[in-house]
Amino acid sequence: MPEVINALAVPADGYETILREFSRVDPDGAVRAHQALLGVDQAYTDVMTSLDAVWNGAEGEQGEKMGAAVSGMAQLRVPIRISSAYYPNYPVEDDSEASWQPALMSLEIPASIIADLQTLYPDEWDDLNLYTDLSQPVYFGPRFLNLNAAALPVFTE
């Protein structure tokens, strides 16, 4: 059976409030989480850009762009060999230094922030509580923002 990650349902602000609180608890951890979120968003954007080129681009480039889109989709789906948050030291050749895990969803949201979710997100509390087991460790999940089409949530490192 595949491992199931207890990722938090993505709040409407794309984790902005959580990242702000996280930066008070663990500034370095907040930066790693922010970078990982942006990394997944960029990978998703690359897939969307390639698909747009397949449908709307030059006829002679459709095969190449479809190949790039499929490759990008596989990268979003398949666990990535990493040594830290997302890609900082990728690829790692030494097996003792690397691990196989879903890169973003290995970043835990501090328990103190999870305990305060109802205060941080009063309008979204019911959904966050319904779709995530808040009694267990909770991890960041992908936002899947297309950076070409969406305004990024504001987070200052």
Q: What is the pLDDT at residue 153?
A: 60
Q: What is the pLDDT at residue 155?
A: 62
Q: Running along the chain, 157 residues long, what does each successive block of 10 average in pLDDT?
A: 77 95 94 84 87 89 88 65 46 49 72 97 94 92 82 61
Q: What is the pLDDT at residue 16?
A: 94
Helix locations, 12-101, DSSP H: 16-25, 27-56, 62-77
The domain limits of the chain are 16-139
CA distance 106 to 52: 31
Q: What is the pLDDT at residue 151?
A: 61
Q: What is the pLDDT at residue 33?
A: 87
Query: Count of CB atoms within 10 A of residue 34's CB?
Result: 22
